[in-house]
A and B are shown apart, each in its own frame.
Chain A
């Protein structure tokens, strides 16, 4: 069964520090990888997509992908209290386009 694993947290990070969120996936043929942010009581919001090995940067966010290790991570630089949320990792196999979500990591930025 295809799985996406995340540490449920909570992960507590001081304001201004780097938050590092990790995700592993079971299916080697996965090609597309996503990070969603979900505030309490709200729907998930897509914040990063990554398709190739290496790093992809967007503002304070950096997604890192290592297909050989089946590992994807999200770094948040200069963490702000507004970054406190649950972060969902998601993976797609191109064969059937079903997206598999992890259960999410709760991130708490300490003021």
Chain B
């Protein structure tokens, strides 16, 4: 069966610090991968999606970036965090059109 991992589970970072969140998927090959952010009391915002290694599409202009160095690894990064980057970051994978979410990383920027 397929499993998706995200780490860390929680993170507190100062404004201006860098960020690296990692997501890995097990039990499937060549999945589509997604990064979402969910701010407090708000809906899911699609940040990036990837259909293959090195293929990244950005949905929203921002100070975040994403990379897919391996088939089942998806990384979300920032060089300098802003207060507005706080939120619940979710990685998801899909085969065909059903999406499945990882456990998420709760990021607080102070």
Contacts and interface: CB of A to CB of B under 8 A. Distances in A.
Contact of A103 (B42, B99, B104): B42
B87 interface: no
A43 B97 contact: no
Contacts, number: 38
A94 interface: yes
Interface string A67-111: 000000000000000000000101010100111011110000000
A62 interface: no
A7 interface: no
B104 A101 contact: no
Interface stretch (A11-19, A21-29, A44-52): A44-52
B43 A43 contact: no
A97 B32 contact: yes
B99 A43 contact: no
Interface of A: 32, 34, 41-46, 49, 88, 90, 92, 94, 97-99, 101-104
Interface of B: 32, 42-44, 46, 49, 90, 94, 97-104, 106
